[in-house]
Structure 1
Amino acid sequence: MRTSARRQSPAPADVITYRLNNQMMYVPPAESFDQAVTFARSAFEGDLTGIDKNRISFSLNVLANGKQNSVGISRVAWSTIMSHLARYEIIDVHVQPELKVSEPPPSYQSCSSTEDCEKEQHSSSDSSSALHSLVPKRLFQRLSA
């Protein structure tokens, strides 16, 4: 009689490694993405203090088709990825660039009638009125109708 050996999954890792700027720290595996951010901030206080939590991201290095690639870990995949990590596996911590919004776009005034719009056009600065002079009047009237 033949018995089949059942393949068991390795036990979940009890410790993993976070790497930031070529520094590495052992941390317990986080149960959630938010907890991972908390652990990263604790492990790398000097580098991550004052950084908005939404700018912190994580990735793993994987070997696929003979090439090493960095694969980001999304918030929704965090717990699944953690359940498959080996002990001491390295997770890279990244700080995403801060998005800077310069000035808001200009506000536009709505015209209640075609006459009001035409008055506004004629009273505008020379540069914009020069632009309007390039648009045939008939075409403008069709567009504003």
Structure 2
Amino acid sequence: MASYPRSSPGLPPPPEIITYRLGDKLVYVTPPLDYEEAIDLAIQEFPSLKAYTEKGESRDRIAFYTVTTMSQGTRHSVCISKSAWKPCVSRMLRGDVVNIVVLPPSNTNSSTTTNEAELPPPQYLEVPDLSGQPASHRKSRSIPPSSHSGASGRHKSPSGSTRSSGSSKRRSWFNRS
């Protein structure tokens, strides 16, 4: 591979290797000089990318991204364009990561491309009308709260607890003989 010429002697030399990443797979590569070579190298190192170029699909679906730290310390993923490949890669540090992304297919045929503004709004299911149903299906089956709920605001137990009824006889599941 050819080397990157540096015009300024104060700049560090271009990296000997960079890291290509596709998903969770990483591979060190010698940085290619131009964008098309970079795509060829990506296809060579990650055979799964070959499927996108053999189906007659455009190589334009393969894109390269790098993570850049902006002035306020925020990190952003930035796409490397064809025209910026050489200057971008020449300023990378040894081992810097270039993320490979497969973009979704784009419809280049204008007859099949639709503008989102032209699409009708989504259709929702109609809510069934329950007015024709018998009244028993529409009524609540829960027991309404009693108006005499006691001082604590709690309802009396339906089991007939002896504490709340004031009876001195204790109830039990077992018969005493």
Q: CA deviation at 1:104?
A: 3.3
Corresponding position of 2:67: 61
Q: Does the C-alpha gap of structure 1 residues 8 and 55 become closer, same or farther in structure 2, counting only changes over 3 Å?
A: same
**2:79 aligned with 1:72:** yes
Q: CA deviation at 1:16?
A: 0.5
Corresponding position of 2:98: 91
Q: Does the C-alpha gap of structure 1 residues 86 and 103 become closer, same or farther in structure 2, counting only changes over 3 Å?
A: closer
Unaligned runs of at least 5 residues, structure 2? 1-7, 53-57, 113-177
Superimposed CA distance per residue, residues 16-69 of structure 1 (whole angstroms, 9 cap, x where no aligned partner): 000011211111101000000001001111x20121311100011011112111
Q: What is the root-mean-square deviation of aligned Cα atoms in Å? A: 2.2
More RCO (CA 8 Å, sep 6+): 1
SS at match of 2:15: coil
Q: Determine the C-alpha separation between the residues in 1 that align with 2:65 and 2:105.
A: 19
1:1-145 maps to which residues of 2 (within 5 A)? 8-45=10-47, 47-51=48-52, 52-64=58-70, 65-100=72-107, 104=111
Superimposed CA distance per residue, residues 50-104 of structure 1 (whole angstroms, 9 cap, x where no aligned partner): 2131110001101111211101100001111121011111000010101247893
Q: Does the C-alpha gap of structure 1 residues 11 and 97 become closer, same or farther in structure 2, counting only changes over 3 Å?
A: same
Q: Given residue 53 of structure 1, which amino acid in structure 2 is its aligned partner?
A: R
Q: Given residue 85 of structure 1, which amino acid in structure 2 is its aligned partner?
A: M
Q: Given residue 59 of structure 2, which amino acid in structure 1 is its aligned partner?
A: K
Q: Percent identity?
A: 28
Q: Determine the C-alpha separation between the residues in 2 that align with 1:49 and 1:29.
A: 20
SS at match of 1:49: helix
SS at match of 1:31: coil
Question: In the comparison of the two structures, how many residue pairs are matched?
Answer: 99
Greater radius of gyration (CA): 2
Unaligned runs of at least 5 residues, structure 1? 1-5, 106-145
Q: CA deviation at 1:7?
A: 7.6
The structure with the greater share of residues assigned to helix is: 1
Normalised by the size of structure 2, how large is the TM-score?
Answer: 0.52
Q: Determine the C-alpha separation between the residues in 2 that align with 1:75 and 1:7.
A: 26
Corresponding position of 1:112: none
Normalised by the size of structure 1, how large is the TM-score?
Answer: 0.62
